[in-house]
Amino acid sequence: MKERNKYLFTSKRLGFRNWDINDIDKMHEINSDERVMQFFPSLPSKEQTAEFIARMMHQFQNKGFCYFAVDKLENNEFIGFIGLAEQTYQADFTPCVDIGWRIKSSEWNKGFATEGAKRCLDYAINDLKLENIFSIAPKVNVKSEHIMVKIGLIKQYEFEHSLLTNNDQLRTCVLYKTT
């Protein structure tokens, strides 16, 4: 069993860590699940998944945060990511720090995203001393919006996402923020 000290921090059931090269195949499997990626314009390739992980590793080195790789503490099983990422696409609230999650579908409805997002918010506010954390999702993604409410974020408004303008289903997004 892997040591808890490999984690940057933990919640009751989850360990949060920086990524490593061994996570690429497991994250690509999650990214290949059409249910997980329902509210994204396309399924990322393995190369795009590797680029995402490299970007997160680099962001962690430079900022002290990223969308963290997340393991269940009971068995050290990798289940996806939960964490913080800098967003710089064109919007009136960017650049900003976004809290987000992507969990393998077999682990849905167990409270992991909510538990993990609450712990990441705590880390952002108390350890990193970040003041404003945002969360963004397509309006049709009501499950993610429900998590935003459960972790205490406040809805700001709806907006047209600059990267999704060609997608009628996904272009209208909700913006939530810490109080």
CATH 3.40.630.30 fits 4-177, yes or no: yes
Distances (CA, A) of 142 to 35, 37, 91, 146: 14, 14, 21, 6
Per-residue pLDDT reduced to its tens digit, 124-157: 999 999 999 999 999 999 999 999 999 999 999 9
Strands in 172-177's sheet, in edge-to-edge order, are: 9-10, 14-17, 67-72, 77-87, 96-103, 134-138, 172-177, 154-160
Residue ranges per structural domain of the chain: 4-177
pTM confidence score = 0.92
